[in-house]
Amino acid sequence: MNILAIETSCDETSAAVLKGGRIASNIISSQLIHQTYGGVVPELASREHERLIVPVVHAALEQANIKKSELEFIAATAGPGLIGAVLVGLNFSKALAFALRVPLIPINHIEAHIFSTFIDDGSASIVNGLASSHDGSQKKFPSFPFISLTVSGGHTMLAFVQEDLNYQVIGKTIDDAAGEAFDKTGKMLELGYPAGPAIDKLAQTGDARFHLFPQGLTKHASGDLRFENNFDFSFSGLKTAVQSYLRDKSTAFVAAHLADICASIQEAITSVLVAKTMAAAEKFGVKTISVAGGVSANSGLRKKFEAGCRERGHALFIPKPIYSTDNAAMIATLAQLKIDRGHVEPHGYDVSAFSSFEPRLTL
C-alpha cells in the first residue's frame, strides 16, 4: 500500500509517504516568518504553504523513492486548523488525486494526533517513547482500549479510544489550551515564539515550587490534586495569574528568577495534564496511556508521565518529538488504520475543509 499524505493545518508544510505499512519519508518545513509577529499570522501561513507545498511533496516522493504513478491513495488534512492553510493542502490533494484517479482520504488532524503513536518508520529501536507496561513487557504500539491525551496547539483533549477507532471525548479545554498557555505566558516573559521549548529548557534548572500558580479546574486537599468532578481543562486563569504576578516584579527580579518562574509555570500546566489523565485511566479501567501533540515533547511532561505510569503499572506511549508536532506521517498512519479496518469509502473531490474541531471523520 502506497499513501501520500499532506498536512497544512497551521504553520508546518508537511508531506509523507507510507510504503508497505511504514513511513518512507516525512518532510516538514516550518515557517519561521511568524516569529517576527509573536504568533502565527493566518494570511502569511497560507502564502507560505502555497510557496512550499510543491517542493515539499517532491522531496517526500524523492526520499521515498516512489513515482506519483505508484501512489494508491492520497490523504490530506481537512481540518481543524487555519481555514486558509487547510485549503491549500486539501485543494492540492484533491487535484493530485483527481489527476492520478486515486481515492482521496480526508483526515481530521486532531484525530491523527490521537493515533500518532502507531507511526512506524522502520527504525530498529522502539518507535514510541515507551515506559514498562503493567505485565513487564514492551510493546511497539498501544493496546486497545487506551486513554489518549492530545496536547496540540489550541487543543487539549482527553479521549477513551476503542479498537475500531471510535473514541469518546471525556475532557477538553474550555478556554486556553496547554500549548497556548505556554506561548502566552512565555510572551509575557519575552521568550519569543514559540515559547514552549524556551520555557521547557529554562525550567530544567528552576525550582518548580518557587511560586504556586493556579491549576485550573482542580483544588488542593492535603497536598494532593482533587478534581471538580470533570476531566475538562482550563488555563486562562493561569495566564491571568502570571500576568498579575509579573505586574509588580522588577526586570531585575524576573531576570534573576526566570528559570524558577518558568519551572513554576510548567509545573502548573503539566501537573493538571498528568493527574487528570491518570484519573481517567483509573475511571475507565485501562492500563495503556497515549500522549501526543506538540506539548508532548515537553521534557517535564514526559518525566511526570513516565514516573506516574511506572508507579501505577501503566504502559505509556509518546511519539518521537519529530512526530509530536504537526506532520504528515500521522496523517498517512491514520489513513492506513482506516483502510485496514475497511472504514474508507471512495470520496468525491468535493470534500469541505473545516476550521474547528469536531469528531465527524471518525466512525
pLDDT in tens, 62-116: 999 999 999 999 999 998 989 999 999 999 999 999 999 999 999 999 999 999 9
Task: Give the C-alpha separation, 363 to 351, whole Å.
Answer: 17
Q: What CATH number belongs to 2-122+325-340?
A: 3.30.420.40
Query: 247 is written with which cell numbers?
Result: 505586574
Residue 347 has pLDDT above 70, yes or no: no
Contact between residue 8 and residue 49 where contact means Cβ atoms under 8 Å apart: yes
Q: How confident is the model at residue 349 (pLDDT cuts 50, 70, 90)?
A: confident
Helices 258-284, 299-312: axis angle to 10 degrees equals 40
- Whether the pLDDT of residue 282 is over 90: the answer is yes
- Provide the whole-model pTM: 0.90
Residues 43, 106: Cα–Cα separation, whole Å: 23
> What's residue 217's pLDDT?
83
State the Cα–Cα distance between residues 15 and 328, nearest whole angstrom.
Answer: 5
Q: Is the pLDDT of residue 126 over 70?
A: no
Question: How many Å apart are CA 293 and CA 32, to the nearest integer?
Answer: 19
All structural domains of the chain with their residue ranges: 2-122+325-340, 129-318
**Which spans in 152-298 are helix H?**
178-188, 196-203, 236-247, 251-256, 258-284
Tell me: the pLDDT tens digits for 201-232?
999 999 999 999 999 888 654 445 555 557 99
For residue 245, give the 3-state DSSP assignment. Answer: helix
Provide mean pLDDT across the span 140-157.
Answer: 92
Q: Which of 334, 325, 13, 354 is nearest to 153 (CA)?
A: 325
Q: Does domain 129-318 have CATH number 3.30.420.40?
A: yes
Same fold, 2-122+325-340 and 129-318: yes
Above pLDDT 70, what percent of the chain? 86
pLDDT confidence of residue 226: 58
Residue 363 has pLDDT above 50, yes or no: no
The pLDDT, as a whole number, for residue 118 is 96
Section 45-68 average pLDDT: 94
Find the helix or strand (DSSP H, E) in which 156 lies. strand 155-161
Q: Find the mean pLDDT for residues 41-64.
A: 91
pLDDT band at 140 (very low <50, low <70, confident <90, very high): confident
Query: Does pLDDT of 134 surpass 60?
Result: no
